[in-house]
Every structure is written in C-alpha cells, then in structure tokens.
A and B are shown apart, each in its own frame.
Chain A
Amino acid sequence: MQIIQIENVSKEFNKSTLFENVNISFDRGKIYGVVGPNGSGKSVLFKIICGFIQPDTGRLNFHSNFKQPKANFPNSCGIIIDRPAYIANKTGFENLKRLALIKNKISDDDIKETMNKVGLKWNLEQKVKHYSLGMKQKLSIAQAIMENQQLLILDEPFNGLDKDSVVAMRQLFTDLNKKEGKTIIFTSHNQEDIMSLSDTIYEINNQRISAYDEKTT
C-alpha cells in the first residue's frame, strides 16, 4: 500500500534549486534510506513530507489513513528533524511527558518503557542540558516512537551514538519495521546504516531524487 506519493515536486532554497520535478513514492511497511551530499536537501525533503515547508510546485498525496484532507501534517508520524530537540532544564522524562500531553494518549508507563527501549534510564534526575549528544539523540528517537507512530521520518537518527548504541538502534528500527509493520524513512551519512536497514534507497543528486538500489528482503 502506497502511503506517500510525491508528484512533480520542485523546491528552491536560498535561491538555489534543490529538486526539480521529483516523483517518488513510499510504501507501507518498508524502510527507505535517503542519501545525498551535504546541502543536497534531505532535511528539506523531510520537512516537505512533514508539511513544515511547502513545495514550490507539485504535490504530495498521502493515503487517507495517514493524513486528513485538510490537515497540514501527517498523523501517526514520528520525526527527528534537524537535530535533537529538548527543553534543556528538564529531565528526559519531563521532556517526553510534555510532548505526550499534547495528544494525551499514552501513560507515564508507556514513556518509561520507550525510554528503556532506547537505552535511557527514565528515573535519571539529570537535566537534559547535562546529557551527552548520544543521550540527546536517544531522547529524540524516544519521542519519535513513544506514541506507537506508524510512519517514522528520521533525519540522521544515528548521529552522536556510540558503536553499541548504533547496533541497538538498528535492531530497534528493524523490530519496529518487521514486527510492528512501521514505515521508516531515514537519512544517514554512514553507508553501513543505509545498506543494513533500507529496503529501498533514494539518492538526491543533481536536483533529482531517484531509487538507485532496490534490495529484496
């Protein structure tokens, strides 16, 4: 089932063309890796998919389960955009709780369970400003998955993680995909992350986005 179809999308950013007439699609239950050089527009593409930025031309079609006709943003979508984001003087749990209260559909226990899943101690009194980059990244991953989001759009989810954590997060994403059928779209500058996780890889190059490697799983 196709959940996102990008049709003839073009986007300029700071007076330079990032993409021109992009036509790609994303199917449910698959993992997509997006690669491209720095500044090629991976983050902009993610922001367009999330609805934070509008394309100059073209359109995005979402499956009705994933976006209401008049909505700006897809529903059931977990994201990591730009960088880990947090309120510095709150604990990790407080940060997640604050976000969870917006939809108010998960319990404190769900938050604690998610923190355990990503390797963070939920009862740590440490404020996030004292977290290492890797811990902040894990917190970002936790907020992206804690509400059982079905579509995960993750910009550089492995940034700042140590070797063991990278392995653990890869396993977590694989489980979310294989066992729970979640769709994951992610970027990474690490070829190994891309190759080991992705069913399909899209490459942004010369203002085009194309699938350059279709793997069978």
Chain B
Amino acid sequence: MGEIKEMIQKNFLTNRLYILFVLTTLFIQTYNVSKDYQTITGSFYEQFYGLSKEGYNLYSYLFVTIIFLFPVAIFFNSLFIASKGDIYYQLIRFSSFKLWFYQLLRRILCHSFLTISILFIYTFLLTLLFEFPFTEHFNFNFYEISYHFLVNGFLQLLVYHLLFIIFICITKRTELILLNIGILVVLGLPLFNSDWIFPIALNSLGYITGGFHQPIHITLVLLIYIIVELLIINLVLSRKLLS
C-alpha cells in the first residue's frame, strides 16, 4: 500500500506530466479559440478566463486553478516527499526555522517567477504560431492583460505556495498535497467564494472585464493575503509548532 502511494506521488506529481499537460492543453485551446477572440489579447483572455463577478465557466475555472496549483504541488512534493525526510538534514544546517523559511521563500519567489514567465511566453508564442493579430479588444488591452497575467499571476502563485506551507504546518502531513488542491479548488468556486474570502483564482483574466475590478485592486487584495499568510507563518514558526 505504501509503495502504491509512493508510486502515485512520484508518477503523478512530476514536472514532466505537468509540462506535458500545459503544452498540450494550451496548444489545443489556442487552436480552438473562439473566432471573436482570435487575437493575442483575446487568446490570453479566453484561455485564462477562469471566473469573474459576471459568471464563470467550470472548465475554465478548473483549468486556471489546476494550471497554477499544480506547479506549487510539484514544488512541495519535491521538497518534502521526494526528499524522503531530507528536511531534517536541511533544517539542522540552519540555526532557526525562520532562516530556513527565508531560504525557502527565496526559492518560492524564483519558482513563482519562472512558472508565470514560462506560461506567459509559451502562451504568447502559441498566439504567434497561429498568426493571431495584435488587435486590441474594446474592453481590455494588451498591457492590462499582461499586467494581470504576470503580476497578479505571480502574486497568486505566492499565495498558493504560502497556503500550502500553512496547510502543512496545520496538518503536519506532507503527503496530503492532492487533498490540499481539492480543498482549494472547491473553496474557490463562486458558490463558496463570492466575496473573495478565499484567495483562489483571483488571477483569472475574467476579472478584468465588466468594470467590476481593476487589476491593481486585485494586486492589493493579493498583497494583503500574502501579508496575512506571512504573519500566520511567522506566528507558527515563532511558537515552534513546526515539528
């Protein structure tokens, strides 16, 4: 049973599987972009629509949450599970949990930056491959899309990373990463999250239309969530509950 679990964790949560998923789904989606959105900005908008205050499409919501949650899960999988208890041997080389966390935070920042950059570049290259024009849409422009995708996408990834750390601190179970994803996906559904109580999929490009939310407003919300998460982690580490 333990071997099966290990096999599932190893094979299911690998970078290769995620990269294959991203490459194929984004390619297929770009190929199938609706006629009205066959522009560079339109393609980004339709593929990463996710949800908005105006409504949501379940497929798009699941796509946006999974495509941003899975790299975080893979990151923690390699950090805690694939390293087979190596965490003790890392910790003892720092003088405190906080120093260990700062080092982890640096890695999280790099990981988030790389992930969002690669997603952006790949999606952009696909629009060039399919020769989509650089036409602006009437209700959003390229800069707005780029800002929301890159800045809020980066902050959303940070939020997810920190949520995973809090989840691991609370449950003290590193192998429940998939359960964590499931909980976050469900909590992010508009049914439970109409007032942004849970910071899930706030980087959905759907939020930039309809005039309900400016990307900068979402940036501020995400920053507040990050500060709150850092305060919680700081509290947990100060009280030495991480064991």
Q: Is B171 an interface residue (CB 8 A)?
A: no
Contacts A52-B88, A79-B89, A99-B89 known; A71 to B243 CB distance under 8 Å? Answer: no
Specify the chain B residue showing the minimal Cβ separation from A95. Answer: B86
Min distance, Cβ A71 to any Cβ of chain B, angstroms = 4
Complex Cα gap A184–B95 (Å): 20
8 A Cβ contacts from A3-50 to B: 47, 50
Q: Is the CB of A72 within 8 A of B95?
A: yes
Which segment of A81-89, A164-172, A185-193 sits at the interface? A81-89
Which segment of B42-50, B77-85, B197-205, B212-220 sits at the interface? B77-85
Residue of A50, A77, A78, A81 contacting most chain B CB atoms (<10 Å): A81
Q: Is the CB of A72 within 8 A of B86?
A: no
Q: Is A174 an interface residue (CB 8 A)?
A: no
In the complex, what residues of B have CB within 8 A of residue A68's CB? 95
Complex Cα gap A98–B240 (Å): 25
Q: Is B16 an interface residue (CB 8 A)?
A: no
In the complex, what residues of A have CB within 8 A of residue B240's CB? 51, 54, 72
* B89 CB contact (under 8 Å) in A54, A71, A85: A85
* A73 CB contact (under 8 Å) in B82, B83, B87, B95: B95
Q: Is B75 an interface residue (CB 8 A)?
A: no
8 A Cβ contacts from B203-243 to A: 240, 243
Q: Is B93 an interface residue (CB 8 A)?
A: yes
Q: How large is the interface on B (under 10, 10 to 19, 20 to 34, 35 or more residues)?
A: 10 to 19
Contacts A54-B240, A82-B85 known; A99 to B90 CB distance under 8 Å? Answer: yes
Q: Is B135 an interface residue (CB 8 A)?
A: no
In the complex, what residues of B have CB within 8 A of residue A85's CB? 83-89
Complex Cα gap A72–B95 (Å): 6
In the complex, what residues of A have CB within 8 A of residue B97's CB? 72
Residue of B88, B89, B94, B103 contacting most chain A CB atoms (<10 Å): B89
Which DSSP category, helix, strand, loop or mixed, fits chain A's interface? Answer: loop
8 A Cβ contacts from A55-83 to B: 68, 70-75, 77-79, 81-83
In the complex, what residues of A have CB within 8 A of residue B92's CB? 50, 73-74, 77-79
* B243 CB contact (under 8 Å) in A54, A75, A79: A54
Specify the chain A residue showing the minimal Cβ separation from B96. Answer: A72
Contacts A47-B243, A50-B88, A52-B88 known; A87 to B93 CB distance under 8 Å? Answer: no
Complex Cα gap A82–B87 (Å): 11
Q: Which 5 A-B pairs have the closest CB atoms?
A: A71-B95, A85-B85, A102-B93, A85-B86, A72-B96
- If A72-B96, A83-B85, A86-B86 are given as contacts, then 10 extra A-B residue pairs at C-beta distance below 8 Å, sorted by A number, are A50-B92, A54-B240, A54-B243, A71-B96, A79-B88, A81-B85, A82-B88, A85-B87, A87-B82, A99-B89
23 cross-chain CB contacts under 8 A: A50-B92, A51-B240, A52-B243, A54-B243, A70-B96, A71-B95, A73-B92, A75-B95, A77-B92, A78-B92, A79-B88, A79-B89, A79-B92, A81-B85, A81-B88, A82-B88, A83-B84, A85-B83, A86-B83, A87-B83, A87-B84, A87-B86, A102-B93
